[in-house]
């Protein structure tokens, strides 16, 4: 699949200083990542292992999140597919272990470039452009492109039928490259989308008349009743390869090539491909309630991780908000300047940019990898803390200044006056805003799916990537968010009434 490598992100020293402090705190606490799947792969008894220098070692390998049949999650939530089965079989034959990080394609490449992982296997096409950045294994799959239309569409059968119409393809993919190469000749326009499930829904909704995609991905989707039919022959495409950084992890690359050759020689390679590609009959989809039952375990896991990240982030953000909030109303210009700088940085930059910086940029700058939960909590904490700072400042300044002056005239110190007179009144004013920020932070956890944090939205993406029931799956995810937020809001209101009578 022809996807272009993402650009490296850079950031300034203020981010690094703040992030380094919280990174140390979280590492001392021993918080682990939430989206990694450790897969032990010792050599089987009696298996002859060629010495490639990787025996007994464990490597972190990044992959895509939704690229069936190469990597996707089955009904039990296990990461399976051609790439996963090949990698596990090779690791077993060569005597090493793999720790699979399901991040998404762009995030996987960034993780490799920042040395968060040792290699990437994600249906990645071997191209001359990518060879400048990565070293590739021997090809393990020869791909190609096909066109599909909605199942009930009998008007589009050839490229010539696309004149004056719009088609879709995956952004940065081989399908997009091919579609654009013939768009001028046949007079159609190409719209790029993020993933296969979204593209297929776009065609079924009538927004595009056809989709161009890698033929094995398209064929698998049709077999899973994605509502499309293939109408063209396969166009020759590129080959997929396993990638490592240029000049690094050559022993791992050698082991992959050696293991791949062994799998092809003993027939296991063909068996793995046939498991996912030989199926031609269309799978019948169950009812909506069956989808809920099948999805429930994975969604509950995602909901739990959502709550963990939310609670940790809010606890830290509350401390930051109170601390910097008092800084902002301090008589010290230095304290006010520190608080103002902090708030300006984290309110003035997008949350997604912050998440990418802490998970990819900071490791590049420090040389110290950060697991996904730590990066996610740092991002949410610092972001929510900036907004809570303003809530605290606004609450304190909304109390009539005469209250402070009156308490001081009675002989109370500034600190005592703030603690006994001003803050209790400010808390009543701030509480509704705090409750609102709690809800916003919980919903913001969904943005961490882009760095591979396996929260609720991420789990939903995994589900509809394999069953292509996007609308129904997202409806279930939205309902879970609504229920949880409604319960937390009601609980917060009860506490508000109890403590702020």
Q: What is the pLDDT of residue 107?
A: 81
Whether residue 440 is predicted with pLDDT greater than 80 in this model: the reply is yes
Judged by DSSP in three states, 191 sits in: strand
User: Measuring CA to CA, which residue among 397, 416, 392, 391 is closest to residue 406?
Assistant: 416
Which range, of 89-93, 134-138, 217-221, 248-252, averages the lowest pLDDT? 217-221
Helices (H), 399-469: 401-409, 414-417, 423-444, 456-467
* Higher-scoring residue by pLDDT: 75, 80: 80
Average pLDDT over every residue of 479-501: 83
Q: What is the pLDDT of residue 190?
A: 94
Burial of 64-80, coded b for 16+ CB within 10 Å and e otherwise, reads: bbbbbbbbbbeeebebb
Q: What is the pLDDT of residue 400?
A: 80
Cis amide leading into 69 (omega within 30): yes
> In the Cβ-directed half-sphere of 495, how many Cα atoms lie within 13 Å?
11
User: Measuring CA to CA, which residue among 53, 106, 43, 30 is closest to residue 355?
Assistant: 106
CATH fold of 288-499: MetI-like fold (1.10.3720)
Domain with CATH 3.40.190.10 in the chain: 40-140+241-277, 143-238
Which residues, in sequence order, are bridge partners of residue 169? 192, 212
Q: How far apart are CA 147 and CA 202, in angstroms?
A: 14
Whether residue 9 is predicted with pLDDT greater than 50 in this model: the reply is no
Q: By CB neighbour count within 10 A (0-12 exposed, 13-18 middle, 19+ buried), where does 308 fall?
A: middle
Q: How far apart are CA 489 and CA 194, in angstroms?
A: 34
Average pLDDT over every residue of 86-106: 90
Other Cβ atoms less than 10 A from the Cβ of 265: the count is: 9
Whether residue 13 is predicted with pLDDT greater than 60 in this model: the reply is no
Q: How far apart are CA 447 and CA 7, in angstroms?
A: 20
Q: How far apart are CA 300 and CA 438, in angstroms?
A: 20
User: Measuring CA to CA, which residue among 131, 52, 122, 37 is closest to residue 90?
Assistant: 52
Whether residue 435 is predicted with pLDDT greater than 50 in this model: the reply is yes
- φ/ψ of residue 454, rounded to 5: -80, 55
Do the Cβ atoms of 102 and 452 come closer than 8 Å? yes
Q: How far apart are CA 352 and CA 431, in angstroms?
A: 27
Q: What is the pLDDT of residue 294?
A: 79
What confidence category does residue 289 fall into, taking pLDDT thresholds of 50, 70 and 90? Answer: confident
Q: What is the DSSP string of 352-363?
A: HHHHHIIIIIHH
Do the Cβ atoms of 189 and 152 come closer than 8 Å? no
User: Measuring CA to CA, which residue among 412, 442, 431, 403 is closest to residue 321?
Assistant: 431
Average pLDDT over every residue of 288-301: 84
CATH fold of 40-140+241-277: D-Maltodextrin-Binding Protein; domain 2 (3.40.190)
What confidence category does residue 348 fall into, taking pLDDT thresholds of 50, 70 and 90? Answer: very high
Helices (H), 278-330: 288-328
Which range, of 201-205, 315-319, 409-413, 484-488, averages the lowest pLDDT? 409-413
Judged by DSSP in three states, 123 sits in: coil
- φ/ψ of residue 317, rounded to 5: -65, -35
Q: What is the pLDDT of residue 49?
A: 47
What confidence category does residue 319 fall into, taking pLDDT thresholds of 50, 70 and 90? Answer: very high
Q: What is the pLDDT of residue 96?
A: 94
What confidence category does residue 3 fall into, taking pLDDT thresholds of 50, 70 and 90? Answer: very low
Distances in Å between the alpha carbon of 346 and those of 330, 349, 381, 445?
A: 20, 6, 10, 16
- φ/ψ of residue 233, rounded to 5: -75, 165
Domain with CATH 1.10.3720.10 in the chain: 288-499
Q: What is the DSSP string of 6-61?
A: PPPP---HHHHHHHHHHHHHHHHHTPPPSSEEEE--PPPTT------S-TT-EEEE
Which residues, in sequence order, are bridge partners of residue 171? none
User: Measuring CA to CA, which residue among 171, 346, 129 is closest to residue 179?
Assistant: 171
pLDDT in tens, 375-427: 999 999 999 999 999 999 988 888 887 777 788 777 777 778 777 777 778 88
Q: Report the relative pairing of strands 58-63 and 97-102 from DSSP bridges.
A: parallel
**Kind and range of the H or E element at 271?**
helix 268-277
Structure-token pair, residue 360:
């990819």
pLDDT in tens, 22-72: 444 444 344 333 343 344 444 444 444 455 678 899 999 999 877 888 988
Q: What is the CATH number of domain 143-238?
A: 3.40.190.10
Average pLDDT over every residue of 244-259: 94
Do the Cβ atoms of 181 and 156 come closer than 8 Å? no
- Average pLDDT along the chain: 82
Positive/negative CA dihedral, 320, 323, 326, 332: negative
Whether residue 434 is predicted with pLDDT greater than 90 in this model: the reply is no
Burial of 34-48, coded b for 16+ CB within 10 Å and e otherwise, reads: bbbbebebebeeeee
């Amino acid at each position: 699949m022809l996807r272009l490598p993402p650009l490296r992100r850079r950031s300034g020293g203020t981010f690094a200083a703040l992030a380094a402090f919280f990174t140390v705190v979280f590492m001392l606490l021993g918080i682990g990542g939430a989206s990694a799947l450790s897969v032990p792969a010792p050599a089987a008894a009696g298996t002859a292992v060629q010495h490639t220098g990787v025996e007994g070692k464990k490597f972190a390998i990044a992959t895509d999140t939704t690229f069936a049949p190469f990597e996707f999650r089955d009904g039990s939530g296990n990461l399976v597919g051609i790439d996963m089965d090949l990698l596990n079989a090779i690791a077993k034959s060569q005597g090493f272990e793999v720790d699979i990080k399901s991040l998404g394609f762009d995030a996987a490449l960034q993780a490799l470039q920042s040395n968060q992982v040792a290699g990437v296997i994600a249906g990645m096409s071997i191209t001359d452009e990518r060879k400048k950045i990565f070293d590739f294994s021997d090809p393990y799959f020869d791909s190609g492109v096909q066109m599909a239309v909605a199942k009930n569409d009998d008007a589009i059968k050839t490229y010539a039928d696309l004149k004056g119409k719009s088609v879709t393809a995956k952004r940065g993919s081989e399908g997009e490259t091919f579609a654009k190469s013939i768009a001028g000749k046949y007079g159609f326009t190409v719209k790029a989308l993020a993933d296969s499930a979204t593209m297929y829904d776009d065609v079924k909704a009538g927004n595009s008349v056809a989709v161009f995609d890698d033929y094995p991905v398209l064929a698998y989707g049709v077999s899973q009743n994605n509502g499309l039919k293939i109408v063209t022959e396969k166009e020759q495409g590129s080959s997929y390869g396993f990638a490592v950084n240029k000049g690094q992890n050559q022993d791992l690359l050698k082991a992959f090539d050696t293991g791949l050759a062994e799998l092809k020689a003993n027939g296991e390679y063909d068996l793995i491909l046939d498991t996912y590609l030989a199926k031609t009959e269309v799978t019948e989809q169950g009812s909506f309630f069956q989808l809920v039952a099948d999805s429930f375990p994975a969604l509950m896991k995602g909901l739990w991780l959502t709550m963990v990240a939310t609670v940790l982030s809010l606890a830290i953000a509350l401390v930051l908000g109170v601390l910097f909030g008092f800084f902002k109303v301090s008589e010290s210009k230095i304290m006010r300047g520190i608080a103002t700088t902090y708030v300006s940085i984290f309110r003035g930059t997008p949350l997604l940019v912050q998440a990418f910086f802490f998970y990819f940029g900071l490791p590049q700058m420090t040389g110290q990898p950060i697991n996904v939960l730590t990066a996610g909590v740092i991002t949410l904490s610092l972001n929510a803390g900036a907004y809570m700072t303003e809530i605290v400042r606004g609450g304190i300044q909304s109390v009539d200044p005469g209250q402070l002056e009156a308490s001081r005239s009675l002989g109370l110190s500034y600190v005592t006056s703030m603690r006994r007179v001003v803050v209790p009144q400010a808390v009543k004013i701030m509480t509704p805003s705090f409750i609102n920020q709690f809800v916003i932070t919980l919903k913001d956890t969904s943005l961490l799916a882009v760095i591979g944090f396996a929260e609720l939205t991420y789990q939903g993406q995994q589900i509809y990537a394999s069953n292509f029931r996007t609308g129904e799956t997202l409806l279930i995810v939205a309902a879970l968010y609504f229920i949880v937020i409604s319960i937390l809001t009601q609980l917060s209101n009860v506490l508000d009434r109890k403590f702020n009578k």
